Chain A
């Protein structure tokens, strides 16, 4: 038996940088360093653990859709231990929305071949958290999402989903789409050996024609949503700051009473 896992990852602008919009109201990627979205590291980690806990022959492919620099995200995942990588890159992809991204990913996943897709719970830039559900819908396979625990055995994926009202145990047959939360287990750091090995691992580059997609289906033009304006929030006016000299709690209560919270 063999198990083919595709891990979808995203290259995102560093949240600690000064993120802003370009003139066409897409995210300006030129002024801020990018990196592998932190939440996707958990997806890579779970793929590695499934592989380590399996008697089957497991192959882990990391997949990203993004500009040239997005290769950095793939390298990071390869250095953690993934086997190979696919980079979907095409100038016509600029400005693709979540629906379009799920189309490109689904086509690439089908072309790559898969038994299990693993995603992070959301990207750290768009933070929509809808791509795993969209992938399941497009691929016509079960979604087993937002898992804080995941395991695969005998063609079945099982996991725990912690919601607000309840904690649920889920189960589905493969193939399936899984997403994991930051509670699923701390992602490992790449070892020196891993980093060196990653340099020799294959990274395939595909463009839209490789996926039988037309330019109109993706990009800003093909988006089903339109951003009309983006406004920087005015800096907050400086608040009142007091030093506690024994009455700090009372002073704060006075402020809260003035604001009608008490």
Chain B
């Protein structure tokens, strides 16, 4: 069976969930071979093996942390040369897409980004994408070279499938471009203890109707009662009520959780572009005419300052 390279997104050896989803999808088109780079690369092996990686190609060098993107492209290119895979899968983070694009160009291959599903086809893997604010669904394939495909988080349920997952050293020689962009400083984001927005199964968002930074505590309480991530509309972010890293929408993050709860968000097209593929959509808004209600599975026309605390209390009671 053909091998499929899966690029591993990890933090100091802790594998992030989108990579485990990729391993599940990779098994539909071949045997997953994982590529793990940087500090802690080798310690990703156990989690990767548990989810189907037949081999783990690992390499660590200071270049991965000290320079932007290109060293990782060099390494992935070395892995492609070593494995001759049927496809290369990369998580659809901002960096993942940049790595995938440069790799595709170097190996003379087409690239598909932000796939939401993947299946085997007669002429190679077929990727489903959700486009035009999720109003259309397209099926595409790479027609030249080794398909390079980036996949959005929450595109597949993680399935365990134990495999050998033996660690092998990947030989990498860095290109002249590798050291072009220096990382001169790094400030880790402070952990909120909540799930990462793009990976969360449930997202609770607040918009203009939240009416002030201090009121986001209501949204956070609801999120915490459900173990959810917190999102914000552009209006709320531009008003300075919540950080830009939490912005959901066309110019922010695109999310696709099992459940999306929009509070005080009218549902402008730019916001819908970032959340419309959510499986179940719920909204609370005072304005019965708000376009968000066209999308919802369940909507409450009412004041979020009444509805949200009551909902939070009820969830706590039921979970009690």
Contact = CB atoms under 8 A, between A and B. Distances in A.
Interface of A: 15-16, 19-21, 25, 38-39, 97-99, 102, 121, 124-125, 127-130, 132-134, 136-138, 140-146, 148, 158, 161-173, 176, 181-183, 223-233, 236, 239-244, 246-253, 255-257, 259, 261-262
Nearest to B106: A137
Contacts of A141: 180
Given A98-B101, A133-B98, A170-B184, A225 B196 contact: no
B162 interface: no
Interface in B269-320: 269-270, 273, 280-282, 284, 288, 293-303, 306-315, 318-319
A166 to B, nearest CB: 5
Given A15-B270, A167-B187, A130 B101 contact: yes
8 contacts: A39-B251, A143-B98, A168-B187, A224-B143, A225-B112, A226-B140, A230-B131, A249-B313
Q: Secondary structure at chain A's binding surface: helix, strand, loop or mixed?
A: mixed
Given A169-B183, A248-B300, A253-B311, 12 more contacts: A20-B136, A25-B138, A127-B114, A143-B69, A145-B68, A163-B94, A164-B189, A171-B181, A224-B110, A239-B299, A241-B288, A252-B284
Interface in B107-146: 109-114, 126, 130-145
Interface residues of B, number: 91
B307 A248 contact: yes
B111 to A, nearest CB: 7
Interface string B151-189: 000000000000000000000000001001111111111
A20 B196 CA distance: 32
Interface of B: 11, 68-70, 73, 93-95, 97-98, 100-102, 104-106, 109-114, 126, 130-145, 177, 180-189, 196, 198, 202, 226, 244-245, 250-251, 258-259, 269-270, 273, 280-282, 284, 288, 293-303, 306-315, 318-319
A68 B299 CA distance: 44
B302 A243 contact: yes
A41 to B, nearest CB: 11
A231 B136 contact: yes
B311 A249 contact: yes
A122 B174 CA distance: 28
- Nearest first, the 10 A-B pairs at minimum CB distance are A244-B302, A249-B310, A224-B110, A142-B180, A169-B185, A130-B101, A249-B311, A253-B314, A133-B98, A224-B144
